[in-house]
Structure formats: structure tokens, C-alpha cells
Structure 1
């Protein structure tokens, strides 16, 4: 069975990668952060933390964000 790395640097990289994919898609769709977080039913700070890779996003939040952006949630996680 694979073991997790000893530090959480890998997790931070993964969160940032998800946030980057959200940001790229949002900008491609010409949407503001406000448009996305309001349509997704998230608070401003929760959305900003997700997009900045500062917090772990709940799967429900990622599904809502993906729906607003017109992509499948797996597109944000790949």
C-alpha cells in the first residue's frame, strides 16, 4: 500500500492546482469570483480560500462550483 508523504507540502500543491483550474475556467468563462460564489451558494471567503488553495474544499462545494462553470467536477480534480 502506498504511503503518504511525511509533510503536507504535496497536499498544498494539490489544493493550489484545483484552485488554479477553477480560476482558469472562471476567467475563460469571463466570470467574476462574485458571480461564481453567489451562484454556487458559497460565502465570499470560502470561495476565495478554495480558489487560492488555502483550504480543503468540500465535495459539495466543488460540485456547485463545477456546475456554475459548466464543467464536470472531475475536470477540477484531474
Structure 2
């Protein structure tokens, strides 16, 4: 049974932003442009921008593709 979970989705917004921040930091650390990442991951520019900004829910397959391009495990994006 679920315990008293908050009614608002503030936690969801914060977690999406944290994932986006991890992607952006990893990308910049590897000196990769957004263009390089979205082309290599087979996603649109808008999708990557929204994920990095934390304004959209990313599919697990998309996160797996991004993680692969960044040379990291998807778990590191979700931690």
C-alpha cells in the first residue's frame, strides 16, 4: 500500500530537471554539442532540448540512446 504521497508533482519536475542537468553536464564534460548528441542518438533537437531543460518526460529508450552516446550507463542519469 502506498503511504501518503504528495498530491503535487513538484518532485517529478525536480527529478526531470536533475536528469536533464546530468545529461547536460556529461555532454559538456565530453565537449559534445547538442547537435552531436541528438544526431548520434537518433532523436530530434527539440527532444534533447526539452529533456535537458526538464520540461518533458523522456522515454527509457531515449535515455538509453543518450546515455550510450555519452558513454555512460543510463543508471547514472537516473541516480
Any unmatched runs of 5+ in structure 2?
Answer: none
What RMSD, in angstroms, separates the aligned Cα atoms of the two structures? 0.8
TM-score (norm 1): 0.96
Q: Which runs of 5+ in 1 are unaligned?
A: none
Match of 2:51 in 1: 50
Looking at structure 2, the residues matched to 3 and 56 of structure 1 have their Cα atoms a distance apart, in angstroms, of: 24
Three-state SS of the structure 2 residue aligned to 1:56 is: coil
Structure 1 or 2, whichever has the larger Rg, is 2
1:4-35: CA deviations, max 9, x gaps?
A: 31101110000000000000000000000010
Q: Is the partner of 1:51 in helix, strand or coil?
A: helix
Q: TM-score, normalised by structure 2?
A: 0.95
Answer yes or no: is 1:60 the counterpart of 2:61.
yes
